[in-house]
């Protein structure tokens, strides 16, 4: 208790000794207390500062504490009142700023949707929505949504939701395993109660809060175009259905990969499907979130395993083996290119167009 006055146990003993031995001297304290002279002098100095002792003809005289400490108590009471008044004013200012912020947000919204132009505006909105989320926050996070700055901004939001018991469910590209920073965040989330999985491709980045509000890009091909917040029930039903459909084929993070016979992995199957759509190597890389050399190495490996000399032939053999489902719509089935009479299509052209050229 006396420590709040800056008095240690020895100083207290000196004061009590002076009460029992009025007019004592330092020599008396040395004889009566088990302490060095330096420690005694330090304790006496503190008691003199507080006016609990005073010198009188070389002796130490104790004084009455209430009188000696009244000035100190009045000073501290004045400081407490000042701080309390300051707190009241700060709270009022924060409340006013919060009201102005909410009013501004309300003025900027449209019926069911609102466009967010800048990364700062997107993050501010995510912060606001995450702070209000009560049940779940589900996200699709392709490679361009997992930059270092984005992860640094997202982690405290995820942490706050997890601390409140909110289910945080993120789906990443399988290529997350090649991204040290992104993988570290995904594993941190899984270890702290979040749900994390991977998929070969993701159509866009998407965050849905409590199944009532979603954020998605204005243009999935151009992150700089900004984002849109949607709240209409019609929008949300479709977006949630998209998320749940992707989760059906999701692989839990760090799940052991098991290849059944000669069947391709989910990533290899998706690569074949993208090739079947006629995408260029560069477009395939962007969809899968892998480097160009990695994509070409995977393509070469698939061609070798299928015993194919071209992508066209690889598509046909993938369907024959059951790696891809036949589909006349040109989705997963590689449709054979129609050749002009007397003029076969050069191999280089069929390879450039991919294995999914429509008739």
The answer to whether residues 148 and 232 belong to one domain is yes
Q: What pLDDT score does 105 carry?
A: 58
The answer to whether residues 153 and 196 belong to one domain is yes
Q: What pLDDT score does 4 carry?
A: 65
> Does residue 107 fall inside a structural domain?
no
Q: What pLDDT score does 102 carry?
A: 61
**Two tokens at 338?**
């129609």
User: Who contacts 315 (Cβ-Cβ below 8 Å, separation ≥6)?
Assistant: 272, 275, 276, 324, 333, 334, 355, 356
> Does residue 96 fall inside a structural domain?
no
CA within 13 Å, CB half, 135: 6
Q: What is the CATH number of the domain that holds 146?
A: 3.30.870.10
SS3 at position 346:
coil
User: Who contacts 224 (Cβ-Cβ below 8 Å, separation ≥6)?
Assistant: none
Q: What is the pLDDT of residues 85-131, one digit of tens each?
A: 888 888 787 777 776 666 665 555 555 788 898 888 899 999 999 99
pLDDT range class, residue 359, cuts 50, 70, 90: very low
User: Who contacts 194 (Cβ-Cβ below 8 Å, separation ≥6)?
Assistant: 158, 162, 167, 168, 169, 170
Per the structure, the count of domains in the chain is: 3
Q: What pLDDT score does 260 carry?
A: 59
> Does residue 336 fall inside a structural domain?
yes
With 90 as the cut, is the pLDDT of residue 187 above it?
A: yes
> Does residue 128 fall inside a structural domain?
yes
**Two tokens at 329?**
């719509």
Burial tier of 178 (Cβ tally within 10 Å: 0-12, 13-18, 19+):
middle
Cα 305 to its chain centre, rounded Å, is 40
> Does residue 41 fall inside a structural domain?
yes
Q: Which residue range forms the structural domain that includes residue 40?
A: 2-63
pLDDT range class, residue 350, cuts 50, 70, 90: very low
> Does residue 69 fall inside a structural domain?
no
The answer to whether residues 145 and 248 belong to one domain is yes
With 80 as the cut, is the pLDDT of residue 203 above it?
A: yes
Gap between the Cα atoms of 98 and 316, Å rounded = 61
**pTM over 0.75, yes/no:** no
SS3 at position 62:
strand
Alpha helices (runs of H) in the chain, residue ranges in sequence order? 9-20, 26-32, 37-49, 65-108, 119-132, 148-163, 180-191, 233-248, 266-276, 281-288, 292-306, 311-320, 347-353
The answer to whether residues 237 and 285 belong to one domain is no
The answer to whether residues 175 and 211 belong to one domain is yes
Q: What is the pLDDT of residues 1-28, one digit of tens each?
A: 566 677 888 888 888 898 888 889 988 9
The answer to whether residues 139 and 229 belong to one domain is yes
> Does residue 303 fall inside a structural domain?
yes
The answer to whether residues 313 and 211 belong to one domain is no
Q: Last residue of some domain: 217, 252, 287?
A: 252
Q: What is the CATH number of the domain that holds 9?
A: 1.10.10.10
Gap between the Cα atoms of 157 and 345, Å rounded = 55
- The pLDDT of 143-171, averaged and rounded, is 89
- The pLDDT of 42-61, averaged and rounded, is 85
Phi, psi torsion values for 217, nearest 5 degrees: -75, 150
Compute how many other C-beta atoms are within 10 angstroms of the C-beta atom of residue 286. Answer: 18
The answer to whether residues 122 and 26 belong to one domain is no
Compute how many other C-beta atoms are within 10 angstroms of the C-beta atom of residue 42. Answer: 15
Nearest Cα neighbor of 242 from 138, 132, 154, 133 is 138
Nearest Cα neighbor of 267 from 221, 335, 206, 198 is 198
CA–CA distances in Å: residue 12 to residues 40, 62, 71, 221, 228? 11, 12, 20, 75, 68
> Does residue 44 fall inside a structural domain?
yes
Q: What pLDDT score does 106 carry?
A: 54
With 90 as the cut, is the pLDDT of residue 316 above it?
A: no
The answer to whether residues 247 and 125 belong to one domain is yes
pLDDT range class, residue 348, cuts 50, 70, 90: very low
The answer to whether residues 223 and 301 belong to one domain is no
Gap between the Cα atoms of 101 and 55, Å rounded = 63
The answer to whether residues 154 and 210 belong to one domain is yes
Q: Last residue of some domain: 219, 252, 285?
A: 252
Q: For the CA atoms of the chain, what is the radius of gyration?
A: 37
Q: Last residue of some domain: 63, 86, 104?
A: 63
The answer to whether residues 307 and 184 belong to one domain is no
């Amino acid at each position: 208790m006396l420590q709040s006055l800056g008095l240690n146990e020895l100083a207290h003993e000196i004061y009590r000794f002076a009460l029992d031995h009025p007019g004592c001297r330092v020599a008396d304290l040395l004889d009566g207390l088990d302490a060095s002279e330096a420690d005694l002098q330090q304790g006496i100095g503190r008691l003199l500062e507080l006016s609990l002792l005073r010198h009188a003809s070389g002796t130490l005289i104790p004084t009455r504490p209430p009188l000696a400490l009244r000035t100190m108590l009045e000073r501290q009471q004045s400081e407490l009142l000042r701080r309390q008044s300051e707190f009241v004013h700060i709270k009022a200012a924060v409340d006013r700023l919060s009201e102005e912020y909410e009013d501004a947000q309300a003025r900027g919204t449209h019926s069911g949707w609102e466009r967010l132009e800048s990364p700062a505006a997107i993050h501010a909105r995510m912060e606001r929505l995450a702070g209000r989320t009560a049940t779940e926050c589900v996200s699709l996070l392709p490679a361009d949504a997992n930059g270092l700055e984005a992860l640094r901004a997202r982690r405290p939001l995820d942490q706050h939701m997890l601390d409140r018991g909110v289910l945080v469910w993120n789906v990443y590209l399988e290529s997350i395993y090649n991204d040290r920073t992104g993988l570290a965040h995904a594993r941190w989330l899984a270890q702290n109660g979040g749900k994390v999985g991977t998929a070969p491709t993701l159509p866009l980045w998407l965050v849905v809060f409590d199944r009532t509000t979603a954020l998605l890009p204005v243009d999935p091909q151009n992150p700089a175009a900004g984002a849109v917040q949607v709240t209409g029930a019609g929008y949300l039903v479709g977006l949630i259905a998209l998320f749940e459909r992707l989760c059906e084929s999701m692989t839990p993070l760090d799940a052991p990969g098991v290849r059944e016979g000669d069947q391709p992995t989910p990533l290899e199957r998706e690569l074949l499907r993208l090739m079947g759509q006629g995408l260029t190597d560069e477009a395939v890389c962007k969809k899968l979130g892998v480097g160009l050399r990695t994509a070409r190495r995977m393509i070469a490996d698939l061609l070798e395993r299928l015993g194919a000399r071209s992508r066209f032939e690889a598509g046909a053999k993938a369907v024959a083996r059951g790696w891809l489902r036949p589909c006349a719509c040109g989705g997963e089935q590689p449709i054979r290119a129609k050749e002009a009479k007397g003029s076969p299509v050069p191999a280089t052209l069929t390879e450039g167009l991919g294995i999914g050229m429509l008739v």
